[in-house]
Chains A and B, each alone.
Chain A
Amino acid sequence: MKLQYYPGCTLYTKAKPLNTSLHACFNAVGIELAELPHWYCCGTTFTLARDNRMSLIAPLRILAKAQQEDGKVLVPCSICYNTLKRANYMLNEDRETLDILNEHLEESYDGNEIVLHPLEFFRDNEELVRSKVKKSLKDLKVGCYYGCLLLRPQQEIQFDDPEAPTIFENFISSVGATPIDFPLKVECCGSYLVVTSPDAALESSYKLLRNAQGNGVNAVVTSCPLCYYNLDALQEKMTKAHPDFKQIPVFYFSQILALALGAEEKNLGLEQNKVSPYTILKEYDLL
């Protein structure tokens, strides 16, 4: 079985571990990820100005190209997923804009491409994963951090309940680890404000990590490379700003899955984690 795959820029640069571990996971369950040929950036962040059609061109062209290959495309990066899905929704609602844009492009798009997140794929193919789990992560207490982009706006993304989502937790259970709920899992990490207002990003990420820890989480899992950066890379500064803060390892969901599926360590990209994951993984006998 083959799945069409759109990695997005960051998975080839700063988020390589997400890319390699995801490949390892799909490899282990016998699915080939067929990368979309000649893809480019989705534009990151969906434009919120209703009169800005330029920003729709990049997502539209990606969707059109993907559609030439297959009816659905797997998008692991939360930002790309959100941008493509919102653009798709908008173009379906506003056929007039779609027609205008189509007129100016080489490609032509009809609005029917399905944008799929790996977590949705695993939700719909739970047995596939469950049967391939080799290592028990039973004692790993995982806090599933959704962030904003997988959940909102609900009407357009239709991923899960935006206030009390469970898809991530179910995923974590199916690979044998223990999901721990924490109420700030649906709040914002600070996103791109890390560029302009690093303090804002630092404080919001700190707040939600503390909330996770307070509920007994000993590893945080996410699917977004930007959330990942804010939660992982900013911890050093958090320790400076809040001396009582204890660092906590952050993983991509695919790293956790790859661990459970017994993938080779070199594919996990754990060495790129800023907060060392090795202590906890050794403690639970996972490496």
Chain B
Amino acid sequence: MNKILADKDLTRRIEEISDQKLSDCYQCGRCTAGCPFAEFMDVPPNQVIRFMQLGLKEDLLKTQGPWFCAACLVCQARCPRGVDIPRLMEAVRTIHLRAKEGLIDVPEIDKEFLLDAPPLALISAFSKFTY
């Protein structure tokens, strides 16, 4: 059985890193509705936020959702409650990265792609996905 509101520390850390108030979210799902990458996520943005609100730490740290956020800010622009969702996603990534859990292993990247891709794609990805 999941224990809700068990990990208050997690909620506090997320709020600190993101500078957002989790209680602002009323779970309308508009972030999920407009997210260009929601279909690739195992857990969509609004549910990631729900995990945060309920302090479901294991679920939150297990989900791959935040790694698909491209910080395009469509959700932020349309959120009726003024929640900066990409900051919340960054907070989850930050927690992982500070625990030395990155998404990509640079030597593994396809050499041909490395030569072809514009530097700013690589630098952006490294800054978001590596520690």
Contact = CB atoms under 8 A, between A and B. Distances in A.
Given A148-B74, A153-B73, A193 B118 contact: no
Interface in B25-72: 36-37, 40, 67-68, 70-72
B4 interface: no
A20 interface: no
Interface residues on B, range: 35 or more
B121 interface: yes
B120 A152 contact: no
A192 B124 contact: yes
B104 A152 contact: no
A36 interface: no
Interface in B82-103: 84, 86-87, 89-91, 94, 103
B109 interface: yes
Given A190-B36, A233-B116, A45 B71 contact: yes
A52 B18 CA distance: 10
Given A9-B119, A14-B118, A191 B71 contact: yes
B44 to A, nearest CB: 14
B120 A190 contact: no
Contacts of A276: none
Interface in A21-52: 41, 43-45, 47-52
Given A14-B119, A188-B72, A196-B125, A154 B87 contact: no
A49 B17 contact: yes
A196 B104 contact: yes
A49 B118 contact: no
B68 A229 contact: no
**9 interchain residue pairs of minimum CB distance:** A188-B72, A48-B90, A195-B125, A152-B73, A192-B124, A14-B118, A50-B19, A191-B70, A148-B72
Contacts of A219: none
A41 to B, nearest CB: 7
A191 B69 CA distance: 10
B121 A49 contact: no
- The A interface, classified by DSSP as helix, strand, loop or mixed, is loop
17 contacts: A10-B118, A14-B119, A15-B118, A43-B127, A45-B123, A49-B87, A50-B17, A52-B94, A190-B37, A191-B72, A194-B125, A196-B129, A197-B37, A200-B37, A200-B40, A204-B37, A229-B118
A194 B114 CA distance: 11
A273 to B, nearest CB: 14
A55 B127 CA distance: 9
Interface in A228-271: 228-229, 233
A55 B77 CA distance: 23
A171 B84 CA distance: 31
Nearest to B116: A233
B129 A153 contact: no
B125 A50 contact: no
A277 interface: no
A13 B127 CA distance: 19
Nearest to A41: B123
A128 to B, nearest CB: 29
Interface centre among A10, A195, A196, A228 (most CB of B within 10 A): A195
Contacts of B1: none
Contacts of B91: 48-49
Contact of B16 (A47, A51, A163): A51
Given A48-B18, A190-B36, A229 B121 contact: yes
